Amino acid sequence: QKEVEQDPGPLSVPEGAIVSLNCTYSNSAFQYFMWYRQYSRKGPELLMYTYSSGNKEDGRFTAQVDKSSKYISLFIRDSQPSDSATYLCAMSVSSYKLIFGSGTRLLVRP
């Protein structure tokens, strides 16, 4: 079993929809939970991070962590075609190592 599981998609939604992206994990030692966004033919860039449980909001994006269920989510409100990308969850086990999910490809249709 992988330490971090993420549905690869693709997830196709119409513009303006609310998008929910999710990851599950098995290691209860994870403390920092991150979402990276990767556009086609580019490297990943950090979108948001959350420490421990709870919610964090940044504009149209909300990151949610439920440590009791070992489940994290990224919600995108009022999705735009420019949000079309692959979204990778990542979890920090140390100051050196990140464990990545395999990524979910999102397509927002105009």
Partner 1 sequence: DVKVTQSSRYLVKRTGEKVFLECVQDMDHENMFWYRQDPGLGLRLIYFSYDVKMKEKGDIPEGYSVSREKKERFSLILESASTNQTSMYLCASSLVAGGNYNEQFFGPGTRLTVL
Q: Is 102 in the site for partner 1 (CB under 8 A)?
A: yes
Instruction: Choose between 84 and 86: whose C-beta lies nearer to partner 1.
Output: 86
Q: Is 65 in the site for partner 1 (CB under 8 A)?
A: no
Instruction: Choose between 8 and 16: whose C-beta lies nearer to partner 1.
Output: 8
Q: Is 61 in the site for partner 1 (CB under 8 A)?
A: no
CA-based end-to-end distance of the chain: 37
Strand 104-109 and strand 11-14: pairing? parallel
- One residue of 20, 26, 27, 31 binding partner 1 per CB under 8 A: 31
Torsion angles phi and psi, residue 83, rounded to 5 = -80, -10
- One residue of 14, 58, 95, 110 binding partner 1 per CB under 8 A: 95
Return d(Cα 51, Cα 43) in angstroms, integer.
23
Question: Which string of x and - marks every residue 38-57 that binds partner 1 (by CB under 8 A)?
Answer: ---xxxxxx--x-x------
Which residues, in sequence order, are CB contacts of 35 under 8 Å at separation 6+? 21, 46, 47, 48, 49, 61, 63, 74, 87, 88, 89, 90
Shortest reach from residue 108's CB to partner 1, in Å = 21
